[in-house]
Structure 1
Amino acid sequence: MSRFDPADLRSEATLADRDHETMTVEAPFTGDEFATLPLGDERDVETAFDAAREAQGAWEARDPAERADILLEFHDLLFEESGPLLDLMVEESGKARRHGYEELLDAALCARHYAYRAEGYLADESRKSPMPGLVDVEVNYRAKGVVGVISPWNYPLTLAVSDAVAALLAGNTVVLKPAEQTTYTALAALRLLREAGLPRDVFHVVPGTGPDVGESLVANSDYLCFTGSGATGSIVAAQAGEHLIDCSLELGGKNPAVVFPDADLDKAVRGLIRGCFTNAGQLCIAVERLYVHEDVRAEFTEKFVAAAERLDARAGDDWGVEMGSLVSADQLEKVSSHVEDARDAGAEVLTGGEALPEVGPYFYAPTVLTDVTGEADLHDQETFGPVVSVYGFEDTDEVVARANDSEYGLNASVWSGDAERGREVARRIDCGTANVNEAYAPAFIAHDAPMGGMGDSGVGRRHGPDGFYRFTEPQTLATQERGEIDAPPGVPYKWYAAAMKRLLKAVRDVPGIR
């Protein structure tokens, strides 16, 4: 039996001891049944939250260094068990093994990053006193309570655990609803966390659909993390608002890349092939709009199309596969309809533009378009597939305006031989992360810096201090050490007010007061 056999992994899920409705989980490479998944409901969610809430106080009371040791052990187990874990991810999601490995690396690095920093983040902080010598002020950080996480299918490992890692290290317990298509990868991660020493009731996974599990999860959470589509994100945000809980949402993107004439075109082609076609384009920070300066547009496009046509796209679990499958028939239909609609609106397909049923039921060829007009759906809407449109531009102000002509603002990429010029342009693009001379990876793996979106791409940030402190409630603790903040006994308040006015004006610029 495999280390992560689905039938065995079901024991990790929080499901009451009763019959559950089930759904068939497909293997995207073949369309055949991979496993059956029991579907929970609001009763299972409430069971999970009751247990997580009961466990939360003791978990938060543990020394942060002890919590960190568990997450560091989880970091090690991810690498020790990478073979069978990648086997599961590839079969369940249809992604190329190399892209599964990138995901595993991100999950491990995120765990390590926060494990090394959580104790420092949680340390009490001394703050500036309004009356030095009289009043002492400090801030301490308390856990939110039970954090709900709703994760998507496209990155079933890292998006299931990265938010959870920070929440756990801050002293929270977690209840996760993963996407139905990729629940077993989340359960495998939970198994490793428990093997690393995480108490069972500190982290629960409840499998199920959005209506049956998601709504109840929002209603019971003290804080909510959601990663997914903008349409669903709006619903989740409204539900969170109804329950007066805070949330962070990472949503869609229609991400631009800008290639200047002084860029190393061969390097840009290699990087943007990764940026457009990693995980078959099913990546919220993938590039879908390519703006190339007219001076090099023809040369770049020729090289880029040739590189796209050389991609090894096939159903296989070996390291040589460069692009895997779309996840489902629905995703294939969306991608196909976007391309056909663009064709109908006058776009030219330079390569691809068709499904690859001979490779697998949900494969779609790496596709490059040009002459895409505003009438086409994929001009403005996120395609979330291996499809990119190439546009020309002539000056910087023009391309910045076009890059910003979107409701989204998640990620951007600028390519130039002058790195400082690249940074200057990147700063002008409205997005949460921007990369110079790479597509998305540098910002994605920069766990000490915030990651998130502007506009319709989301609310809040993961990674960095921002991604940790969202899971805490800061408490200000002020101690009156001497005197009183009031007129002394027997002194008229009018005199006290006049004296305070003169004193505060006199010490306005004294060091230690500012």
Structure 2
Amino acid sequence: MKDSRSTSIFDGPYYLSIAGKLVATDAHFDVFNPATGEVFAKAPSGSPEQLEAAIAAAKGAFKTWSVLSYDQRQSYLDAYADALLEHRDELARLLTLEQGKPLKTMAEPEVDQAISWIRQIAARRIPVEIVEENDNHIVELHHTPLGVVGAITPWNFPVLLALWKVAPALITGNTMVIKPSPFTPLTTLRFGQIAQSVLPAGVLSVVSGGNELGPQMTAHPDIAKISFTGSTETGKHVIRSAAGTVKRLTMEMGGNDAAIVMPDADWQAIIPQLYWGAVGNSGQWCVGIKRLYVHSSYRNEFVAAFVEYARQQVMGDGLDPNVTVGPVQNKMQYDKVRSFLDDIKANGYKVVLGGEVDESRPGYFIPVTVVDNPPESSMIVQQEQFGPIVPIIAYDDVDDVVARANDSPFGLGGSVWGRDTQAAVAVANRLETGMVWVNEIHTQGIDIPFGGHKQSGIGTEHGHEGRLLFTNPKTVLIKK
């Protein structure tokens, strides 16, 4: 294996990580650079037999990993964070190559946050609770590990969203098998390779491959829990498949997040936050602003200022340090986002920025597009675009805009912006979402629970509540 601790460039080869070993495959699949649309690497395509071997290794490793103390497991996770830090630059560059996000403003921060997340989670504990104690007995509540956790991870934040699952699963005594998205497998394979040098064999395995591996994981009797991040439609398939073995599930799925800018908002000051809340990562995040509601008293001025700020940004290859907006990650999503542009044009909605794709340009570039006041029934308002298209929608009445924001099958996140914090909080409390920000956006933390309502998810990630979901509650009654 080629090692690159002394350089920021790693170009393979890539292996599956199974039972502490780097495993080659007979088959491979292409990985595309979304900034060029060209193949730049080959990823190993794991077979069902290799996934079976990874699950068996994880089941075997669970017997010894689960009985270690928290402190012992923390030592391993701290060593893993140290190893990832040595490879930080190469991981960030690889992330930009396969995902497209700008290196300096998105990829490097993603890798840095993931490493920090491991260290912080490793320091957390779930203590034994004394539920009851009297002259006759003591009742203790323990939280025991589940077993093998299967992680199915997405292509928009492939490093962060995977390691967000790895850290709490492992510190609570579980083992894990990860299946990364076939669109962005390389960074996950690479941090899986790095893990084999510091973690006991079988504790963390990575098996890349096609979509056929997902159902094998979700139906497998030796996987106790699935932690999934992805689309709502794929999530529904996961739920159906997992039902046969009554798996535990944590599901973070799609969203159609609304941002409500209150009538009293200092709207000029918050345009950068709202812009990046919508367009950061080229609009490819589940909690991105998908619908931007602005009071009609200043909507025209707001739209003009928003467009002016957008014009200052540079779209291009994320390896260029001047670039602030990268491409859409894959051809499938590119075509989907283009269908929104087609619908906008077909219905004659007012486009004040963007709207036209440069067909001569290589790669999957969708220009940042601002649509001024499309109707509530429009495709761009009702559906999740997951791309750099921002509908700015007028409203007059706060009660009405809350009802419009809640009129969605999704309920992941949202935000409210206003000078009167108390009034903004009152509106935030009426939104039917798992997370809502007031006068900020996309603040996350290891002790901040994150999850969705409605069809945006099941369960919670992060926080004490999220860590508990990697355990079984076990009541122990002890007679005195």
TM-score, L = length of structure 2: 0.94
- How far the C-alpha of 1:300 sits from its partner, in A, is 1.1
The answer (yes or no) to whether the contact 1:325–1:360 under 8 Å persists in 2 is no
Tell me the equivalent position of 1:85: 91
Tell me the equivalent position of 1:110: 117
Tell me the equivalent position of 1:509: none
Q: Deviations over 1:105-164 (max 9, x none)?
A: 33123212211113xx1x2211124xx211210011211000000001111101122111
Tell me the equivalent position of 1:25: 31
The answer (yes or no) to whether the contact 1:314–1:359 under 8 Å persists in 2 is no
Q: Distance in 2 between matches of 1:383 and 1:174?
A: 32
Q: Residues 354-369 of structure 1 correspond to what in structure 2 (within 5 A)?
A: 354-357=356-359, 359-369=361-371
- How far the C-alpha of 1:372 sits from its partner, in A, is 1.9
- How far the C-alpha of 1:13 sits from its partner, in A, is 5.9
Using a 3 Å threshold, how does the CA distance of structure 1 residues 438 and 477 change in structure 2: closer, same or farther?
Answer: same
Q: Residues 205-244 of structure 1 correspond to what in structure 2 (within 5 A)?
A: 205-211=206-212, 213-220=213-220, 221-244=223-246
**AA aligned opposite 1:152:** P
**AA aligned opposite 1:214:** G
Q: Distance in 1 between matches of 2:22 and 2:89?
A: 31
The answer (yes or no) to whether the contact 1:13–1:207 under 8 Å persists in 2 is no
Greater Cα shift, 349-358 or 31-40: 349-358
Identity %: 33
**AA aligned opposite 2:46:** G
Q: Does 1:184 align with 2:186?
A: yes
Q: Residues 287-326 of structure 1 correspond to what in structure 2 (within 5 A)?
A: 287-326=289-328
Q: Deviations over 1:340-359 (max 9, x none)?
A: 11232231111011224555
Q: Distance in 2 between matches of 1:34 and 1:93?
A: 12
TM-score, L = length of structure 1: 0.88
Structure with max Cα Rg: 1
Using a 3 Å threshold, how does the CA distance of structure 1 residues 393 and 86 change in structure 2: closer, same or farther?
Answer: same
Q: Deviations over 1:421-457 (max 9, x none)?
A: 2222111111111111123x21xx2220210111111
Q: Residues 359-398 of structure 1 correspond to what in structure 2 (within 5 A)?
A: 359-398=361-400
- How far the C-alpha of 1:191 sits from its partner, in A, is 3.1
Tell me the secondary structure at the aligned position of residue 461 of structure 1.
Answer: coil
Tell me the equivalent position of 1:141: 143
**AA aligned opposite 2:100:** G
Tell me the secondary structure at the aligned position of residue 38 of structure 1.
Answer: strand
Tell me the secondary structure at the aligned position of residue 162 of structure 2.
Answer: helix
Root mean square deviation, CA, Å: 1.9
Q: Deviations over 1:461-502 (max 9, x none)?
A: 100011111111111011222xxxxxxxxxxxxxxxxxxxxx
Contiguous gaps of at least 5 residues in structure 2: none
Contiguous gaps of at least 5 residues in structure 1: 482-514
Using a 3 Å threshold, how does the CA distance of structure 1 residues 280 and 18 change in structure 2: closer, same or farther?
Answer: closer
Residue from 330, 333, 343 that aligns with 2:332: 330
The answer (yes or no) to whether the contact 1:291–1:392 under 8 Å persists in 2 is yes
Greater Cα shift, 178-187 or 2-11: 2-11
Q: Distance in 1 between matches of 2:3 and 2:323?
A: 22
The answer (yes or no) to whether the contact 1:278–1:323 under 8 Å persists in 2 is yes
Q: Distance in 2 between matches of 1:402 and 1:76?
A: 47
Residue from 59, 83, 86 that aligns with 1:53: 59
The answer (yes or no) to whether the contact 2:89–2:108 under 8 Å persists in 1 is no
Q: Does 1:126 align with 2:130?
A: yes
Using a 3 Å threshold, how does the CA distance of structure 1 residues 411 and 107 change in structure 2: closer, same or farther?
Answer: same
**AA aligned opposite 2:132:** K
Q: Distance in 2 between matches of 1:183 and 1:200?
A: 21
Residue from 259, 277, 280 that aligns with 1:278: 280
Tell me the equivalent position of 2:81: 75
- How far the C-alpha of 1:11 sits from its partner, in A, is 5.6
Q: Deviations over 1:336-381 (max 9, x none)?
A: 1112112322311110112245554201101111232345322211
Tell me the equivalent position of 1:484: none
**AA aligned opposite 2:13:** D
The answer to which structure has the higher helix fraction is 1
The answer (yes or no) to whether the contact 2:449–2:462 under 8 Å persists in 1 is yes
The answer (yes or no) to whether the contact 2:417–2:438 under 8 Å persists in 1 is yes
Greater Cα shift, 296-305 or 78-87: 78-87
Tell me the equivalent position of 1:462: 461
- How far the C-alpha of 1:2 sits from its partner, in A, is 7.2
Using a 3 Å threshold, how does the CA distance of structure 1 residues 262 and 6 change in structure 2: closer, same or farther?
Answer: same
Q: Distance in 1 between matches of 2:396 and 2:379?
A: 25
The answer (yes or no) to whether the contact 1:24–1:35 under 8 Å persists in 2 is yes
Using a 3 Å threshold, how does the CA distance of structure 1 residues 263 and 67 change in structure 2: closer, same or farther?
Answer: same
Q: Does 1:174 align with 2:179?
A: no
